[in-house]
Amino acid sequence: MNELSVFQAFVLGALQGLAEFLPISSSAHLALAPWAFGWPEPGLAFDVALHVGSLAALLWYFRAEWIALVRAALSIVTSRRIETVEQRRVILLVIATIPGGLAGLLLEKKAEHAFREPALIAAALIVMGAVLWIVDARSRRDRTLDGLTTRDAILIGCAQAFALIPGVSRSGATITAGRALGFDRASAATFSFMMSMPIIAAAAILKVPKALAQGGVTLPLAVAVVTAALSSLLAITVLMRFVKTRGFGVFALYRFALGAAVLALIAYRAHS
């Protein structure tokens, strides 16, 4: 892990937290910021370390739901029956996590290198922005999480697998899939956030020791993780309130603007 200043770490932590839960791709921002500003490349291990902050925010915001799901999971083990809504949701969250987990194991090396080219990220930002906008505008919006089926969980889980490409956005892909299946915006966002927990936790368990082995707990890393936690909590809170009355079009516009800016910078550097 290359050395970053405290300011650089703060900026990357803020980008991670805000972009992880807003449908604008945290991996794109973490890859593009060092490239655009000429900062040291912190590496994927540092990126994953930042997810510890996002994970803490996710667990705190949905703490009541997580407590209910843990109790439901324990009751499944003891009773060997699936009867309640919470018990079914536990199983569906497990099912939804499988595609993304398999994709991460199979494509980990490409995710670290080949998928982080600025031109590819820009294209993913623009294309996924268009898909998000169209699907959100045209989809029905009357389904809630109580009606979630195994088929829904599999399809949303497969959408999460595409988030290995920076610019696609894990939350963007899963929210778009949820909206395409007819879930209202709040339900689509809630399930997107809930199903991200196992993926983020697994990535942190696998990668954080590597980050610590490379440089230990430095001040920039600590600042980045704390900043990621606070900005993640802000992003979740804002989005959950925002989707009650507004659509995702504003995030699509931001993706278009960022993608166009990246392409323009690529062209400028190629001819300068």
CB atoms within 10 A of CB 142: 10
Using a pLDDT cut of 70, give the percent of the chain over it: 94
Residue 187 lies in a domain: yes
Residue 203 lies in a domain: yes
Answer whether residue 129 shows pLDDT above 60.
yes
- pLDDT score recorded for residue 111: 61
- pLDDT score recorded for residue 156: 97
Average pLDDT for the chain: 90
Residue pLDDT, tens place only, 11-46: 999 999 999 999 999 989 998 999 999 999 887 667
Number of domains in the chain: 1
Q: Which residue range(s) make up the domain with 148?
A: 6-271
Residue 67 lies in a domain: yes
What is the value of pTM for the model shown? 0.91
- pLDDT score recorded for residue 179: 96
Using a pLDDT cut of 90, give the percent of the chain over it: 69
Q: From CA 4, how far away is CA 103, in angstroms rounded? A: 30
Residue 1 lies in a domain: no
Residue 103 lies in a domain: yes
Mean pLDDT for 65-75 is: 94
Residue pLDDT, tens place only, 99-118: 988 887 787 666 656 567 89
Residue 148 lies in a domain: yes
- pLDDT score recorded for residue 108: 66
Residue 90 lies in a domain: yes
